Amino acid sequence: MPPFLNRLWRSVRATVAPVPDISAELWLQTLQRYPFLARLSLPEQGKLRALSALFLDQKQFHGAHGLEVTDAMAIDIAAQACLPLLHLGDAAKALDWYDDFVTIVVHPGEAVARRQMVDEAGVVHEHAQVLLGEAMERGPVMLSWQHIANAHENTARGHNVVVHEFVHKLDMRSGNANGCPPLPAGFMGARTGRAAYEAWWNAWEPAYQDFRERVILAERFGAEKPWLDAYGATSQSEFFAVACEAYFVNRTRFAQEFASLVPVLDAFFRREAMTD
């Protein structure tokens, strides 16, 4: 179904069958499990709760390998998936960012995917890749529940697989997942779309190259490991996702490491007043 028909259907459905609320008990439990959600202001928590309820109404959860996805688990995932959308307009408009898929597959732990690579000689090599999550363009999102549930340790390290995979979905909206999602008109005061993208890359390109250099020095020469997940050094797209997960769950430490990226992310996510 085309996106505009999806939006029309959701609008009609909301009129005849309003989205059910998330119970106060389950919502409070989610906030208690994830400190970066509990630190949101009360109005932000209320908006996130409504946004998460609409998200749950639109998506379908499937547990892999016999995992039962409980209501509490689904709410935990929905709240974190919707966090990047919190200030991107009203709920229906914000969720348009995620209108290219329905299914979320939850694995109990890490997933193993078979990959193929063709070398310069044209020889196909197969290998196994261990995944904590994966977002497929115009396809489902896969997540590891083991990683989602380990909230305390992951928050301290700036890790969050849900935010990571769902900001990949934002990046994919441009049709080319390259570490730069579609930018709004007037982004950072830019008068043209070209100027907006120049402002974006002027911040991101040097930060990415510096981070790659730090990762190389750590892995090859024993220098101190960067705080941010080294996986972000594999591509601009992964750097964007890794940076965003740290920005949302441990803003204070992220700002210490990547001060130049904070105003850019604040402008994109419209979270200039966010505190940690």
Nearest to 96 by CA among 2, 236, 208, 220: 2
Which tokens is 65 given?
A: 């390998």
- Residues paired with 133 in a beta bridge: 143
Mean pLDDT computed over 137-154: 91
Which contiguous run of DSSP H or E holds residue 6? helix 3-16
Domain 1-157: top CATH class: mainly alpha
Structure tokens at 148: 């989602």
Q: Which fold has domain 174-276?
A: Collagenase (Catalytic Domain) (3.40.390)
Average pLDDT over residues 46-51: 95
Per-residue pLDDT for 114 more than 80?
A: no
pLDDT tier at 111 (50, 70, 90 boundaries)?
low
Let me know: does 248 contact 167? Beta carbons within 8 Å.
no
| Band of residue 132 on the pLDDT scale cut at 50, 70, 90 | confident
CB atoms within 10 A of CB 130: 10
pLDDT > 70 in the chain, percent? 83
Segments making up each domain of the chain, as ranges: 1-157, 174-276
Structure-token match 């002027």, residue found: 202
Burial group, residue 153, by CB count within 10 angstroms (0-12, 13-18, 19+): exposed
Phi and psi at residue 104, to the nearest 5°: -120, 120
Sign of the torsion formed by the C-alpha atoms of 68, 71, 75 and 76: negative
Average pLDDT across the chain, whole number: 88
Show the beta-strand stretches assigned E in 141-183. 141-144
- Phi and psi, residue 190, nearest 5°: -70, 140
> pLDDT value at position 2?
56
